[in-house]
Amino acid sequence: MFRIPKRASIFNHLPLFSVTAALLMAFMALSCNEERDERAPAQLLVLPVMEAAAVDEGTRFEPTMLGLAPGATNSEMRFNWYGAKRVSKAWVRLFRNGGLVSVTAGTSGVVLPRTTNTCTDYDCRNDSLSWHKASVTGLSPATAYEYSVSNDSVNWSHRYEFKTPAAGPFSFAFVTDPQITRGNQDCSSWGGGYCSTPNTAAQGWLEVVGKIAARNIPLIVSGGDQVDHYGTTSNLTADEGEYERFFAPAPLRSIPFAPVMGNHDVHDQFAYHFNPPNLPRYSCSYPVRQDVCYDMSTQNAHSYYYLYNNVLFIALNSGNYVQESAAAGRVKAMDDLIKKAKTEHSGQYDWIIVHHHRSTHCQGSQMTDPTTGYLVAAGLNKIMVQNGVHLVLSGHDHTYSRSHVITVADTTAPGKIDLSATSAAATAPTTGSSAGKINMSAAGERTVTLDTAGTLFIGGTSASGGKYYPLGYSSDANANYPFFRDGTKGAAANTNHGKPTWAANVYEQRRSPEYIIFDVDRSSIRMRAFKVNDDASPADEVTIVKKGGGNTSILRDLRGF
C-alpha cells in the first residue's frame, strides 16, 4: 500500500522545485515497497547533497548487533543489524562532510528460533526479532563517511563513522575463534594464561578489538568460530546473547568484519548476523528466506570473495562437518570459487589471501581433526598452491602456527604436499613439544628462495581467551591424519607428542587472546602476531617479499635478525 512516511521524508526540507520528478517517483516507489519481495535487489536514492541539519531523524532508533562487512570492492560497504520487532524494511543513510548523499533500501526478515527444518510458512515464525541488511555503493577512496540505519525510514539510528581506504599500502587484522560465550575465559585451565578483568570471553574480545582499533586498522578478517554455540543440522538455533557480546565492541560499528563459518557457527544466526558480498545463491526450501538459506551439509555455502585494495580475499567455509565421501565435492566447490574470483578480478590484485576455519598445519588439539583430514586428502591445500594463493589464514586449533612456504604439490601420497623443494625439509624441531613452543626456524628457514609460487599457512589462537589447547596432544584417534614430516601419518605416529606436521615451522601456545596485523604493499606483506596483554613488540613476525613482477617469492623470517 502506498503511503508517505509521516516524518521521514527528507524532501519536506527541500525547496519544492529542487526535487526532480524522477527522484520523487523513485522515492514513491520505495515507499510503496513495504511488502516487497525480500529477494529484490537493494534500491538506491542518490540525493542532492543536503545539509545534515536539515535531515529529519525522527525518534532515535536503537539497532542491536549492528556491524559492517566489506563490500565486493572498496566502493561498497555492507551493513547488518537486528531489530526488536517484525518489520519488513532496512534502510541506510550515507553522509559525507555532514551532508546526506544517499538513502538505500536493503533486505530484512524474521529471525527464526526454530529447531527443525520443516517450518516453511511465514506465519509460523516467531516475530520477536528481525534481521536487517543493506549496502551502499559508489564510495570514494580515502573518504570519511557517516551512516545511520532505520527499520522504517522514519526513525534513524545514531550516526556512525567509517572510512574507505586510500589506494596503495594498507593494513588489516586477522582474528579467529573469539568463540564468544556468556561465561569466562579459559585462562585458568588448559595450562593457565592471561585473564582479563573481568575474566570473560566478552572482555577478552573487547580488548582485542580495542587494540586493533587503536592501530587504525580498517579491516578485520576472521578465521571463524565467532561464537561458541554449537550448531547441528537438527538444532539450528544459536544463543543470541553470544552474538550480543560478539558485536558489543564499539569499533565494530566502524571497521568491516569479514567472517567465515567455523564449526561453532553452524546455525542460522550466522547467516542472519553477517552480510558479506558475493555469496553464492543456492536453491532452497525456504522461498522467503533466500538470503539466509543454505545447505550446511553438502554445499560450499557461505564462501565468498572480495577485492580490498590490491588483495583478492577469498573466504571459504571449512567450518561445517564433512564426511570423507563428500570432501572431494567440497574441495572442488572451493577450487571453483577461487577460480571464479580470480577470473572476475583478473589484473586487479597483487596478492591472493584465503581465510577459512580449519587449520591444516596445526600442532595442537585439532591436528587430527577428521574433517580437516578429509579435506586435505581431497586437495584443500593443493588447490591453494596451484591457484597461487599467497597466504592461508585459519583457526580452529586455538594455537598459533606458521608453516613453511609450501611450493610443490606432490600427489604421490593423497593429501600430502612434498616439502622436498624447500630448504628446511629435513630440519628437526629444536625444542620439545608440551613446553608450549615448537620453533623450527632457528635451524631451518630464515630466507627461502622459491622457484615457483608459494603458499604460507598461518593459524591464529583464540581472540577472546578460550580453550588454550596444549601443543602436541591431539583429540581424535585419527589413523590417517595428519601427515608428518617424516613421512608417517595418523595420531598413533605422534608418539612423543612433538612430531612436526607436514608444514611445521613455528608453533606456540602463548595463552593470551591474540590478533595478527598484516601490512600490505605491492611487493611485500609483513605479518606481526600480538598478544593482547603484551603487544609492545610482536610475538612472531615474518615478511613475504615478492621478487620482481612474477610469482617467485622469498620468505624472510625476522626472528633472530
Interface with Fe ion (CB under 5 A): 177, 179, 225, 262-263, 396
Q: Which residues contact 430 (CB under 8 A, 6 or more apart)?
A: 439, 440, 442, 443
Minimum distance from CB of 265 to Fe ion (Å)? Answer: 9
Parallel, antiparallel, or unpaired: how do β-strands 391-395 and 351-358 relate?
Answer: parallel
Q: d(Cα 76, Cα 66) in Å, to the nearest integer?
A: 17
Q: d(Cα 134, Cα 146) in Å, to the nearest integer?
A: 15
Q: d(Cα 483, Cα 502) in Å, to the nearest integer?
A: 5
Minimum distance from CB of 147 to Fe ion (Å)? Answer: 32
* Choice between 177 and 186, CB closer to Fe ion: 177
Minimum distance from CB of 327 to Fe ion (Å)? Answer: 17
| β-pair partners for 133 | 80, 107
| Degrees to nearest 5, angle at CA 355 with 491 and 83 | 115
Residue nearest to Fe ion (CB): 225
* Choice between 151 and 176, CB closer to Fe ion: 176
| β-pair partners for 352 | 312
* Choice between 225 and 445, CB closer to Fe ion: 225
Q: Is the distance from CB of 222 to CB of 261 less than 8 angstroms? A: no
3-state secondary structure of 370: helix
Q: Give the chain's largest Cα–Cα span.
A: 82
Minimum distance from CB of 463 to Fe ion (Å)? Answer: 10
* Choice between 146 and 369, CB closer to Fe ion: 369
* Choice between 357 and 531, CB closer to Fe ion: 357
**8-state DSSP, 198:** S
Minimum distance from CB of 357 to Fe ion (Å)? Answer: 6
b/e sequence 397-433, b meaning 16+ C-beta within 10 Å: bbbbbbbbbbbbbeeeeebbbbbebbebeebebeeeb
Q: d(Cα 324, Cα 319) in Å, to the nearest integer?
A: 15
* Choice between 135 and 179, CB closer to Fe ion: 179
Pick the closest to residue 485 from 527, 426, 430, 541 (CA basis). Answer: 426
3-state secondary structure of 17: helix
* Choice between 357 and 485, CB closer to Fe ion: 357
Minimum distance from CB of 366 to Fe ion (Å)? Answer: 7
* Choice between 193 and 444, CB closer to Fe ion: 193
Minimum distance from CB of 261 to Fe ion (Å)? Answer: 10
How far CA 378 is from CA of 52, 57, 330, 383, 485, in Å, comes to 55, 54, 9, 10, 19
Q: d(Cα 413, Cα 386) in Å, to the nearest integer?
A: 16
Minimum distance from CB of 358 to Fe ion (Å)? Answer: 7
Q: Is the distance from CB of 412 to CB of 516 less than 8 angstroms? A: no
* Choice between 151 and 263, CB closer to Fe ion: 263
* Choice between 177 and 242, CB closer to Fe ion: 177
For residue 93, which amino acid is it? R
* Choice between 225 and 514, CB closer to Fe ion: 225
- Within 10 angstroms of residue 56's Cβ, the number of other Cβ atoms is 15
Q: Which residues contact 444 (CB under 8 A, 6 or more apart)?
A: 404, 423, 424, 427, 505
Pick the closest to residue 459 from 432, 484, 438, 488 (CA basis). Answer: 438
What φ, ψ does residue 201 adopt, rounded to 5°?
Answer: -60, -40
Minimum distance from CB of 13 to Fe ion (Å)? Answer: 50
Q: What is the CA radius of gyration of the chain?
A: 24
* Choice between 177 and 557, CB closer to Fe ion: 177
| β-pair partners for 82 | 64, 131
Q: d(Cα 99, Cα 129) in Å, to the nearest integer?
A: 32
Q: d(Cα 79, Cα 101) in Å, to the nearest integer?
A: 17
Minimum distance from CB of 356 to Fe ion (Å)? Answer: 11
Minimum distance from CB of 392 to Fe ion (Å)? Answer: 16
* Choice between 263 and 427, CB closer to Fe ion: 263
Minimum distance from CB of 466 to Fe ion (Å)? Answer: 7
Minimum distance from CB of 263 to Fe ion (Å)? Answer: 4
